[in-house]
Amino acid sequence: MKKVLKIFVAIVLLIFIAIQFYQPAPNVDKGQVYKTDFIKTYKTMPVEVKTLLQTSCYNCHSNNTNYEWYDYIQPARSLVDKHIKDAKEDLNFNEWAAYSGRKQERLINSIKKQIETKKMPMSSYTLMHKNAKLSDQQIKLITDWLEKQE
């Protein structure tokens, strides 16, 4: 019985090591300046709002993710990349100005609602990124500014 358990553990360990060699292309576009970026579109955006959005939203909702060391360990890496892909399909802050006016209006309302109801940033994200968690005061700051943009 012990021999079977040792073989099983060895096989699981080998599989774990083998899947580490699969690393999807990172969501990193360093140095790229997007003329269509949300922050560039709203030139009068307060610095505090800009910082909060970059800290709490841009890691998933842009073309440039700041990966942590643990984001490179499979199978977590595949999960992180799926979250980023899904997030960018809904909203990519780097492509904001390329969206139609109607879509921008819809997204501003959605951003506001998601932040107010604390659905965003996701709790699974803020668990590992404590600085991304928004306080009630920060939520009010962002949502008040978003309301002025409608």
User: Could you tell me the residue range of the domain that residue 94 belongs to?
Assistant: 2-149
Tens of pLDDT, residue by residue over 83-123, are 999 999 999 999 999 999 999 999 999 999 999 999 999 99
Residues 6 or more apart in contact with residue 57 via CB below 8 angstroms: 93, 120, 121
**Alpha-carbon span 52 to 131, nearest angstrom:** 9
Q: Is the pLDDT of residue 30 over 80?
A: no
The pTM for the full model equals 0.85
Number of domains forming the structure of the chain: 1
Tens of pLDDT, residue by residue over 1-20, are 788 888 888 888 888 888 88
